[in-house]
Structure 1
Amino acid sequence: MPTLHQPTAWDDPATRRAWTQLLICTVLGQLLWPAAWVGLLAWYVIMSTKWTLWLFFVPMAYTFYRTFLQGAYWKGAFRSRRILREYPWQVHETPESGIGNLPGVRNGCAWLRFPHPTEPNQPVTMVMHSHVRAVWWGGRLGKRAKPERRAQVREIWCAGDPRLAAVIAVPGPRHLYVISQRPGYAEATSHDARGAEAQPL
């Protein structure tokens, strides 16, 4: 499990650029999704005829949902920065992964297994519970994904502690994603889990 050269992932200029792009997308989403919802609502009111309702319902519902979801994007962006400032990138070649088919994992949730920080032979399972920015990953981690898509996640960079939370990315880094641990998925001992909780994330 090689580590990239910088002391922390944040010391890598490419990582800072990737995070800046992540923040820009978050800001644009905060501006554009509410504007799209208000615009569709205004358009519907102006064109207020019953037969047009079905034309507006789906896009209005989706833009409202994305507006409501923006808080999770902000939280994920700044949590990822905290983790990237604390941990270095570690490179994992073809980590075990899949979608569902694990005890306690909902169907449709992608998961990855990383080595335990203190017991490398004992894997720690991390599940993508949040679908925020998970669509790209979910389309490539499943066994049914096309070979060319699976090849895009053959090498995964990970910064963090898999017993708690980590940022994963593909080389570049690109497609930053904060993956958080939940009780029951980490195969860590209670002693190691308590020690991990003391580390800042």
Structure 2
Amino acid sequence: MTSAVHYKTAWEDPATRQAWRRTAMFRCAALLGWLLGFPTWLFAVVMTPTWLLVLWLPVLWVGIWYTLLAMVAVTTLRGIRRVLRVYPWQVDIAEVRAKKKGSTQFVVPVPERPEKSVSLGYGGLLGTGQHFWVRAMKSGEVTSAWFAGDPRYVGVVATPGPRNLLWVAQREATDSRMSPRKRGVSPEARALARAAGARVGEG
């Protein structure tokens, strides 16, 4: 059986494609569950005394927030697939660290200058504390991870297998209000990052 790291791109690995499908099914099911919660909430409001509305309103706001988080998780599925179709897996190259406000930081060497590293973060928002990568970091269960991508732009982290796929990105690689990173990056690296869905600028 060919190891995942021996393929030209991570997507060529059958185990990686299976992991992506599992991730997609789980995230779509979670979003559907939250969406179905709104009719349930409305039914509960109609069937209970009016004075209980003061209790049901906070439940509504929590439901809206978690639905938004679930929608964001679903929208990143395409980004995960784009990265995996461009880059190969690099085993245990990303160091996993704790960051402020309960978030997780992935420290990855720069492809063209491995003596230097770049950090990508996840979490720190209300509702992300129970995500696998935040819980695993707090418990010390995971200290390193597989990585596919370019840490100066976008990437995907995973535990060995691969499992627990997570899309991560530098803000300037996705936010049109910021100038994309160009300094110190070769044309070849920028072309790969562009193919993976990152903003790399012109020239």
TM-score for both structures, normalised by structure 1: 0.78
The reply to whether residue 60 of structure 1 matches residue 60 of structure 2 is: yes
Q: Which residues of structure 1 form unaligned runs of 5+?
A: 101-106
The reply to whether residue 190 of structure 1 matches residue 183 of structure 2 is: yes
Paired position in structure 1 for 2:132: 136
TM-superposed CA distance for 1:54, in Å, is 4.5
What are the equivalent positions in structure 2 for 1:91-170 lying under 5 Å apart? 91-92=91-92, 95=95, 97-100=97-100, 107-128=101-122, 135-141=131-137, 145=138, 149-150=139-140, 152-170=141-159
Distance 1:195 1:163, change over 3 A: farther
The C-alpha deviation readout for 1:92-129, integer Å capped at 9, x for no partner, is 267262213xxxxxx43321211110001011111225
TM-superposed CA distance for 1:80, in Å, is 0.2
Query: 1:37 is matched by which residue type in structure 2?
Result: F
- Asked if 2 retains the 8 angstrom alpha-carbon contact of 1:128 and 1:180, the reply is no
What are the equivalent positions in structure 2 for 1:3-18 lying under 5 Å apart? 4-18=5-19
Distance 1:21 1:130, change over 3 A: farther
Q: Percent identity?
A: 29
Q: Secondary structure at the match of 1:175?
A: strand
Q: Which residues of structure 2 form unaligned runs of 5+?
A: 173-180, 197-203
RMSD: 2.7
Q: 1: CA distance between counterparts of 2:182 and 2:115?
A: 13
Q: 1: CA distance between counterparts of 2:113 and 2:43?
A: 58
Q: Secondary structure at the match of 1:91?
A: strand
Distance 1:19 1:133, change over 3 A: farther
Distance 1:191 1:44, change over 3 A: same
Q: 2: CA distance between counterparts of 1:123 and 1:37?
A: 44
Q: 2: CA distance between counterparts of 1:79 and 1:120?
A: 25
TM-score for both structures, normalised by structure 2: 0.77
The C-alpha deviation readout for 1:128-187, integer Å capped at 9, x for no partner, is 25758673212233xxx3xxx31x31341101111101000111111111111135xxxx
Q: Secondary structure at the match of 1:122?
A: strand
The structure 1 segments of at least 4 consecutive aligned residues displaced by more than 6 Å after TM superposition are: none
For these two proteins, the number of residue pairs brought into alignment is 182
- Asked if 1 retains the 8 angstrom alpha-carbon contact of 2:10 and 2:88, the reply is yes
TM-superposed CA distance for 1:71, in Å, is 2.9
The C-alpha deviation readout for 1:35-59, integer Å capped at 9, x for no partner, is 1122111221122331x33543343
Query: 2:191 is matched by which residue type in structure 1?
Result: A
Q: Secondary structure at the match of 1:95?
A: strand
- Asked if 1 retains the 8 angstrom alpha-carbon contact of 2:106 and 2:120, the reply is yes
